[in-house]
Amino acid sequence: MYNVAILGATGVVGQEMLKTLIARKFPVKELKLLASSRSAGTSVTFDGKTYPIEEATPEAFAGIDIVLASAGASVSEKLAPHAVAAGAIVIDNTSFFRMHPDVPLVVPEVNAHHLDQHKGIIANPNCSTAPLVMVLNELRKLAPLRRVVVSTYQSVSGAGKEAMEELREQTRAALNGETHKPEHIVHPIAFNLVPAIDSFLDNGYTKEEMKVTNESRKILDEPDLAVTATAVRVPVYICHSEAVNIEFDRPVSVADARAQLANAEGIELMDDPANNVYPRPMECAGSDPTYVGRLRGDVSHPNGLNLWLVSDNLRKGAALNAIQIAEALVARGLLKARQEVAL
């Protein structure tokens, strides 16, 4: 049994972490919920149980075995080293440590073996990267990957609880012929699309787009893999969708790709276009698998394959993957419970 802290426990990811820990029966001895000073003294109720929220301070990690962090990059930058110094392992959902050479970036179905090199901090990938590498990892078993072109359709929950409220308010305002000023997404998102997530870089890409490129290469251990992304925010509450074009170094048939994905752990094929069956965010929200459909050959390239995937960004893109990492640490004997609890 382990002492677990959720850092960012009042956020959409933090709440999903709490739900997932309970649903997967992770062996929790003591649970500590941490958030900003704004929430300290409040509580959250889940499954009939009320949990107090405490302020996240450098001292808050005494006696904790494992920290599930999702309170933003600057908070992880500041607090993760204190948690590690206190003897905890930090599984960090923010972007801060992902590309650090000493920090494994892990999707357990793909590269759980990277956990063996951890030095206290393990990073969880971006919510679009996780489902993408699940699919790429399976398909590269059929033929080496040459190039990946991906366009993401990312839900507002990927930008946190305030962005979800913004979509709600803007939708209500628009239907009443009014306007609601954007504060958390750069432009109005209700009845709209915003092709800009995170800030722009000198190369013309956004940071979000380069996260998909760089993180995919790191997780797949393919530092030279050609990956190019366009990330778009869409007026959907939960689930990120991705249109993916993959070029292999030789032709891969749709039948082989289908068979490979149909047997893959964590992937569910939803591919019967004649009967209008393909993954859709509203129907996939609240479930664990990465759903794949619209598999078809690429008419523009003999070695190309197109597909469409949908995945719950709060689950496989965040909380589920983080807790699967914790489970993998336990399974690999890398997580030792404290003998003495000092909570």
Ligand X SMILES: NC(=O)c1ccc[n+]([C@@H]2O[C@H](COP(=O)([O-])OP(=O)(O)OC[C@H]3O[C@@H](n4cnc5c(N)ncnc54)[C@H](OP(=O)(O)O)[C@@H]3O)[C@@H](O)[C@H]2O)c1
Residues that bind ligand X in the complex, under the rule CB under 6 A? 8-14, 35-36, 38-39, 56, 70-73, 75, 93-94, 127, 157-158, 160-162, 313-314, 317-318
Residue closer to ligand X, measured from CB, 10 or 306: 10
Write down the catalytic residue from 114, 239, 240, 284. 240
The closest of 66, 78, 23 to 287, measured between CA atoms, is 23
- Least distance to ligand X from the beta carbon of 192, Å? 20
- Least distance to ligand X from the beta carbon of 303, Å? 32
- 8 A C-beta contact, residue 94 and residue 76: yes
Q: Cα–Cα distances in Å, from 270 out to 3, 141, 153?
A: 38, 20, 18
Write down the catalytic residue from 127, 180, 184, 239. 127
Q: Write out the two tokens for 45.
A: 């109720």
- Least distance to ligand X from the beta carbon of 237, Å? 11
Residue closer to ligand X, measured from CB, 56 or 264: 56
- Least distance to ligand X from the beta carbon of 70, Å? 4
DSSP structure class, residue 301: -
- C-alpha of 98 from chain center: 12
Closest residue to ligand X in the complex (CB): 11
- Beta sheet of 121-123, edge-to-edge order: 43-46, 49-55, 28-35, 2-7, 66-69, 89-92, 121-123
- 8 A C-beta contact, residue 28 and residue 19: no
Residue closer to ligand X, measured from CB, 35 or 329: 35
Q: Is 240 a catalytic residue?
A: yes
| Residues with catalytic roles | 127, 240
